[in-house]
Amino acid sequence: MNVNSSPEEKKLCLGLTGGIATGKSTALKLIQSKLPAVTVFDADESVQGLLAREDIVSLIISELGEVVRGAEGGLDRVALRQSVFAHSGKRKALEGILHPKVREECLEKREEWLRNSASAMFVADVPLLFEGGFSFFQDLNLVIATSMETQRSRLRDRNHFGDALISSILAAQLPIMEKVARADLVFWNEGPLQVLENQIDHFIAENTIHE
């Protein structure tokens, strides 16, 4: 499939997602290494910026309660994570605060890319792309996938999370195979890094992206 079949279709706007610990960040780094001029929007980075704003912190504490307030008056990130993964209502309240603002930032960056950037590709890295109905007029949605067993193993080994927390985190996301079913293109990331890199190389070559 060659998306860029004519000069008018030169720019390609992509959504990139996956499950926790499937290797989404690794895939994005590979894309950036091969296409240095690619324009990237990182939803996690956007969230971190929002969580540093006093007005957002105040709103979160008001919605989720004093349990998430830290000793210095800001957010206790550990308590926040535990709270939202233990209570779906609190998770939805947090998402209701953050997601619209993240999407607004994504749309602003996309518009800037369309107007001013010579880059042929825009990639929005959005972990909850499908769960949040996150649309930014993307051409394709890419999913980085592994088995759930691999997700669990990586979370234990990399993050040192306990099984209960891992189960809560996975329950807050669509099962990875549901994301696979919704994807336009899937990169399977079970094997060595070279296997994932080969898939990305093939995608770039097929779509004749030139930076």
Is residue 76 predicted with pLDDT exceeding 50?
yes
Does residue 66 lie within any of the structural domains?
no
Range of the domain at 155: 12-43+102-206
Is residue 209 predicted with pLDDT exceeding 80?
no
The whole-model pTM stands at 0.87
Does residue 87 lie within any of the structural domains?
no
Each residue of 151-164: pLDDT tens digit? Answer: 999 999 999 999 99
**pLDDT band at residue 7 under the 50/70/90 scheme:** very low
Does residue 67 lie within any of the structural domains?
no
Does residue 170 lie within any of the structural domains?
yes
Does residue 35 lie within any of the structural domains?
yes
Is residue 65 predicted with pLDDT exceeding 70?
yes
**Domain at 187, CATH number:** 3.40.50.300
Does residue 183 lie within any of the structural domains?
yes
Does residue 55 lie within any of the structural domains?
no
Our count of domains for the chain comes to 1
Distance CA 88, CA 69 (A): 19
The pLDDT value recorded for residue 41 is: 97
Is residue 8 predicted with pLDDT exceeding 70?
no
Is residue 2 predicted with pLDDT exceeding 60?
no
Does residue 185 lie within any of the structural domains?
yes
177-202 burial, b at 16+ Cβ within 10 Å, e below that, comes to: eebeeebeebbbbeeeeeebbebbee
The pLDDT value recorded for residue 175 is: 94
